[in-house]
Structure 1
Amino acid sequence: MGSNHHNGDPLPLPDAASPFLVLVAPTPGERRRVWALTHTMWGVWALTHTMWGSALAAADYVAREAYLTTVPLAREGGIAHWILTEPYRGRGYAGRMLRELGARLADQAGTTNDQPSLFSVLYSDIGKTYYANKGWAPFSSSHLSFPPAKEAASAAIQGPVATPLGYHELAELCPVDERLLQERLVRRVAARAAAAAAKTAKTATAVGPSVALVPDLNTMLWHLMREDYMTKHIFGLTPTVRGALCCTRPSETATAGAVPAAGNNDDDGHRMWMVWTRGYYGGSETTEGNTLHILRVVLEDLYDDGADADADAAETEKVVTQRHVDAFAALVRLAQAEAAAWMCGSVQLWNPTPAQAVLARRSGLAYEVVDREEESIASLRWNGGGDGGSDATRVDWVANEKFGWF
């Protein structure tokens, strides 16, 4: 076959089809090399592409990645690390790895493992085609982009008051969110099944599964602890406001903006809250590349569970009250103020549901709808079989929001 030396590689490399290539987890040393190469490729040499420009020194960048392997979500290999560096590109290795990974995940889905892998997700930064050809189908990848606004939170408006949320409140709210999401999945499956049954036998098809990633506390903590590391190294301090909550109860006795106490708050069931994190690629010198990401939006008393998009939108318009709109606006205004205070160039809300889209439109706030075609493309591979078959496009991905990105 001849020499496989490439860009100074000291050893010949096997063909991508070689039976001697195996899929294994990286060693600690290999992970450190991945982090260092990631910083070098995207933080130093790609200075013209500010999205990937690192806001940290190389040593701090590597230390951050090592630190993040110790947080609860990432312990014991909870988050994988890999990158295909220049000497190994163009050899088919990425395709081979993805085929091996897909097969491994599919095998786990068919086992009696306590945690079978029914589906997996990734976020592509190379468009929608490459990973789709490997089995990860592209899903909705849009976001609402709100500008930062220094005076937003103190604007003279009537209506609900946004109460800031911190770590302690999230410990109470995340379990509530998990329960609500489980209930929503059940409703969506029932609604989609009813819609399918209403079709004629000629056009009716089996209803694919409804799935969601879990927005639990450990997931949120990974994002917030990453944020803490970044802000401490960039600004010398960490933020205290990690989200906001509003009451949506129309009653005069409602406690506007009250921080909920688990199980004994009069406003339980009539709340709206957001959890957010700040991401930095531009550092402290510019807002370009710095974003306040709304990780999760929870609407306790608004539902996005219809099977027909047009009918669902019409129904949503009816059930959204001005109280809901005012609460949403108050939450976003606080996010905008936090973005301005922490050198963020925008506030992003990923893949708004029909209700969230109505709330944004009726809020009176300025925003832009962005359809992403190349970067952060949410992609899903279905391994579970059943009514989903092997076609991920028939899967109903619920709560496809920023909290699932790692």
Structure 2
Amino acid sequence: MASIPNLPPGTAPTLALVHPTEQEKQIQFRLNSVEWRGALSPEAYLHREAELSKQELTRDGGITYWILVDTAQHNALNPTSKSRLPLASCETYRKRALVWRDGKVQEIISHGIGSVFCAPHLRKKGYAGRMLQELGTALKTHQTEDKECLFSILYSDIGKKFYAGFGWEPFNSSHVAIPGTASDRAAGELPAAQPLYAEDLQELCELDESLLRKELESRSEGSRIAVALVPDIQTIRWHHVREDFVAAELHGKPPKVKGAIVGSEKGKRAWCYWTRMWGNENPQETKGNTFHILRFVVEENFEGDVATAKAAMLSMAQKEAQEWGLEHVEAWNPSPDTVAAAQKLYPQAEVVDRDTESITCLQWFPEHSGNIAESIDWVSNEKYGWC
């Protein structure tokens, strides 16, 4: 009689993807804080996650928590307990998105997947993979009462292969970085950049969304499908609440400057939003701390040199990075003029193609053949989409 091979626990038919209770959620937060608390203490990390769950982006179902459990184990070992053993966990963020296909722009919802976690003692058993397999199916119809969902995204910190095996294919993941120290190298040739504050951003985000729609609508017939996450105010504020919380913990106050703008006449301006991320618990050290450009925006009738304008904004970013103890300033998937801007301030700057951390990945739900990254354009694939 042929022997039956031992199958990994992650293939068990009794496994199910469910939403955790508050107690189960807190168990996972305490476990995954080792991975994602950065400069925060474990308790501060719990407080930050609670605060982030109350934002306009995340409340009213904007964030959904998921865990993988073994229903048989729960029933057999804990018949009267309401608490289950989470075998793997993650969360998803509902995001507004735009898709251009067949000559039309469609607004849809997308889901960004974050905090994929499996406790060390449960790893290499197939639990994370099973959770992702179940999640990919669930997200196709999750919260689609009003709008269709055509894709989901995630940002891999474990390279390009693992998530690709479950349908999230890696897209271009590059950045350009310059030191987080103020420099006068190009000061004489740069236009004046003015700081942006929280109260300035809503109007600019609305204009930004309008420009993004126009960019997609202008695509020529026969172009590849294009997708873009909407850089709305809810998304930008979420990043800034996260930033403010950590800054208050480390430095006793939140930063006021949230971006920079060049020009004052509507229709002829360029601006950027940014955020600060601290990974070092010592406020006196800069290593592991990054100043991220969330997004660059250039209006249609901007009359100056775009690279020079971006250099002016990056120069202000360097000053802010130095003030707040950040090692370098980074822009994701930079355009040629962003690279040129960085090199005006730091000639050694070059594009770095990431292959292990923050790999942008996308799963396209409609049926397709071939490599999605080669048949779909991810427009404006910048840091603002990260979750």
Report TM bin, short chain: 0.7 to 0.9
- SS at 2:148 equivalent: coil
Shift of 1:208: 3.5
Partner AA of 1:71 in structure 2: Q
CA contact (8 A) 1:23 1:100 kept: yes
- 1:29 Cα deviation after fit: 1.9
Match of 2:182 in 1: 150
Letter in 1 for 2:22: P
Match of 1:242 among 252, 258, 278: 258
Question: Residue 327 of structure 1 corresponds to which residue in structure 2?
Answer: 309
Q: 1:271 aligns with which of 269, 284, 294?
A: 269
1:353 to 335, 341, 351: 335
Q: CA deviation at 1:324?
A: 2.4
Matches of 1:15 and 1:244 in 2, distance apart? 51
Structure 1 residue 225 and structure 2 residue 241: aligned? Answer: yes
Q: Does 1:180 align with 2:164?
A: no
Consecutive unaligned residues in structure 1, runs of 5 or more:
5-13, 43-51, 194-206, 248-257, 259-266, 303-319
TM-score by length of 2: 0.79
Aligned to 1:45: none
Return the match for 1:139 from 171, 186, 192: 171
More contact order relative to length (CA 8 Å, sep ≥ 6): 1
The answer to whether the 8 A contact 1:164-1:243 is kept is yes
Task: Measure, in 1, the Cα distance between the counterparts of 2:59 and 2:370.
Answer: 30
Q: Please give the root-mean-square deviation of Cα atoms over the aligned residues, in Å.
A: 2.6
Moved more, 368-377 or 332-341: 368-377
From 58, 62, 72, the equivalent of 1:78 is 62
CA contact (8 A) 2:175 2:351 kept: yes
Residue 60 in structure 1 maps to residue 51 in structure 2: no
Kindly provide the CA deviation profile for residues 320-353 of structure 1, in whole angstroms up to 9, marking residues without a partner as x: 9763232111101000110000000000000012
- CA shift for structure 1 position 143: 0.3
Q: Distance in 1 between matches of 2:252 and 2:346?
A: 35
Give the 3 Å change call, closer, same or farther, for CA 285–53 of structure 1 in structure 2: farther
Q: State whether structure 2 residue 38 is matched by structure 1 residue 30.
A: no
In structure 1, the residue corresponding to 2:240 is in which secondary structure?
Answer: helix
Match of 2:67 in 1: none
- Listed as ranges, the matches of 1:153-302 within 5 Å are 156-188=187-219, 190=220, 193=222, 207-247=223-263, 258=264, 267-283=265-281, 284-301=283-300
117, 142, 148: which one aligns with 1:116: 148
Find the counterpart in structure 1 of residue 158 from structure 2. Answer: 126
Residue number in structure 2 paired with 1:314: none
Deviation at 1:25, TM superposition (A): 2.1
Provide the C-alpha distance between the structure 1 equivalents of 2:19 and 2:300, rounded to a whole number of angstroms.
43
Equivalent residues of 2:10, 2:130 under 8 A apart = yes
Which amino acid in 1 is paired with 2:171?
F
Q: Assess, with a 3 A threshold, how the Cα gap between structure 1 residues 92 and 362 changes in structure 2: closer, same or farther.
A: same
Displacement of 1:361 in angstroms is 4.7
Where does structure 2 lack aligned partners over 5 or more consecutive residues? Answer: 1-5, 64-90, 92-114
How big is each residue's C-alpha offset from its partner over 1:169-215, in whole Å with a ceiling of 9 and x where there is no partner?
Answer: 10110000011111111223x26x2xxxxxxxxxxxxx541000111
How far did residue 91 of structure 1 move?
Answer: 1.3
Pairs within 5 Å for 1:370-385: 370-385=352-367
Do 1:162 and 1:330's aligned partners in 2 also have CA atoms closer than 8 Å?
yes
AA aligned to 1:103 is T
CA distance in 1, matches of 2:137, 2:260: 42
Match of 1:392 among 369, 372, 376: 372
1:90 to 124, 130, 133: 124
Larger helix share, 1 or 2: 1
Deviation at 1:370, TM superposition (A): 1.7
Contact 1:147 1:367 in 2 (8 A): no
Cα 1:362–1:185 shift into 2, 3 Å: farther
Question: Percent same amino acid at aligned positions?
Answer: 42
TM-score by length of 1: 0.75
Check 1:156–1:374 CA distance in 2 against 1; reply closer, same or farther (3 A cut): closer
Residue 301 of structure 1, CA deviation:
2.9
Alignment of 1:11-50 (within 5 A): 15-39=9-33, 41-42=34-35
Q: Return the match for 1:106 from 136, 140, 143.
A: 140
Q: CA deviation at 1:240?
A: 0.8
Q: State the SS of the aligned residue for 2:17.
A: coil
Closer/same/farther in 2, CA of residues 322 and 365 from structure 1, 3 Å limit = farther
Amino acid at match of 2:162: Y
Contact 2:209-2:231 at 8 Å conserved across structures: yes
1:317 counterpart residue number:
none
